[in-house]
Amino acid sequence: MFVFDIHDAIQNLPGSMAARRLVVQTALKYLQDSSAEAAADSPANRALRTEIAAGYRKVGDILGRPYVANLGDPKGARENYERARLQLEPLVAANPLASPAGRAARRELALTLKSEGALLDALGKYKEAEATIQSALPLFRQLADAPDATPGDRLALASVYTSLSVVQFDESHLPDYLKSSNESLALLQALLVKTPDDRDTLLQQAAVRDLRGQYLSQADDSPAGRQATVASFQQSAQALERIHALAPDRADITRKLAGSLSNVGSAMSFAGDLKGAVDKLRQAIALLAGLAARDPLDMDSRGTQALVTTNLSDLLREIHEYDDAVRNGNEAIAMFGRMADGARLDASMRSAVGTAHYVLAKSLTARANAHPNGPGPAAVDRTEGCHQYNIALGLLEALKASSGIVPGNLSPDDARKEMQDKGCAIHPVAPAAAASSAA
């Protein structure tokens, strides 16, 4: 499909979201017309229906697939993944794995289920996400175990284990997470023995090590555990820096490197190196700001920039740079506010917005306690700090009720305890009121 050939050539270039939106508009018309033409069963139509399904999947990815540049429309993304499945499931049932049509349909259905599972995970629908990705696993396994399997088939199998481990981590099913993560690492290491410089395999390995760092940060709070966490994140960042040097214009690699540097910074702060942590976060923000400036429609980069800016604000408060902490906290909240409405439905994004208000509240109350300009400005900071705590509490309570809180993330109980310690009256602000106040 020519329109997707163009899309695949530009998808990782900074500033390509406007062109990718045009791809969606053009492709949907073509796909709807082609679906009607391919209704009758024939070998040619089987190949066409698989191609149509791939088109719907790619439209879904552009609209709202998490962790890649997208237009912030999760509802539209899911609708297109469902259209793809409706094309593919009858083809898989009717065509054996040994046939070209059967292999092509299984590969495309597996990719669609993986994308849909990642979207469901981001929306906080964890049980549905795990079931969807588990249903993709035997398809990827069949393709990877086939006599004519390619390294790409084995990388795809490693990738689905990575996706499964992410959902299991988010669900707090940590033994299952470790099992899936180890499966992915073993497959990736076997591939790297044969092709040590393959970028896609190195990218996947960096993602696995990055999540392993998050796991270690929760599993072992000892000094040795903290150093192991830093080491895991650094391994991920070093791999990404190596790939970024080879492909500096690939937006997806730049985005992943920024996220990895942010995680290194957070781990360094837990290990006590606050100045070093601030430096890593500033590096990450500079990379993300460049992406956001070149592509304002890229919701993933904008959301990640806001999240890292929140982390920087928190660190600046810890080293007593209160004015900069408050400024960065306000900037982070403003960045979240400029995101597309659909992008803010993401459960991880809702958690991040609540955390941003909480971090700003901590910075304001810390500045109030150390205010050099007397009791008047201090009282203003203290009042606004309590208001921000209540916004955070309202957002987190709504998230807990709808999706739950991912382990290690800020919870409503954390916010309530902090408010009690600071002497703030507890009156949670409803999310709709918080959004109108931020606007």
Contacts of 244 (CB under 8 A, 6+ apart): 250, 253, 254, 257
Picking from 296, 195, 203, the residue whose alpha carbon sits closest to that of residue 254 is 203
pLDDT in tens, 320-342: 999 999 999 999 999 999 988 88
Tokens coding 112? 């669609």
Tokens coding 67? 């962790």
Tokens coding 389? 């705590």
Tokens coding 23? 């791809």
Picking from 237, 235, 234, the residue whose alpha carbon sits closest to that of residue 258 is 237
Range 1-6 contact pairs with CB under 8 angstroms and sequence separation of 24 or more: 1/27, 1/30, 1/51, 1/54, 1/55, 3/27, 3/30, 4/54, 4/55, 4/58
Q: Is 327 exposed, middle or buried (0-12, 13-18, 19+ CB in 10 A)?
A: middle
DSSP string, 314-339: HHHHHTT-HHHHHHHHHHHHHHHHTS
Whole-number CA gyration radius for the chain:
23
pLDDT in tens, 258-305: 989 999 998 899 888 999 999 999 999 999 999 888 888 788 888 889
User: What separation in angstroms does the CA of 346 have from each of 329, 407, 418, 424?
Assistant: 21, 16, 26, 29
Q: Which fold has domain 284-439?
A: 1.25.40
User: What separation in angstroms does the CA of 4 have from each of 108, 217, 264?
Assistant: 15, 41, 36
Tokens coding 347? 């459960």
Q: What is the mean pLDDT of each run of 10 residues along the chain (439 residues)?
A: 55 65 73 67 75 90 85 91 94 92 95 97 94 98 94 96 96 95 97 92 92 88 87 90 87 88 90 93 95 83 92 95 97 93 84 96 95 81 96 95 88 96 94 59
> Does residue 364 contact residue 324 with C-beta atoms inside 8 Å?
no
3-class DSSP state for residue 246? helix
Tokens coding 128? 């549905």
Please tell me the pTM assigned to this model.
0.71
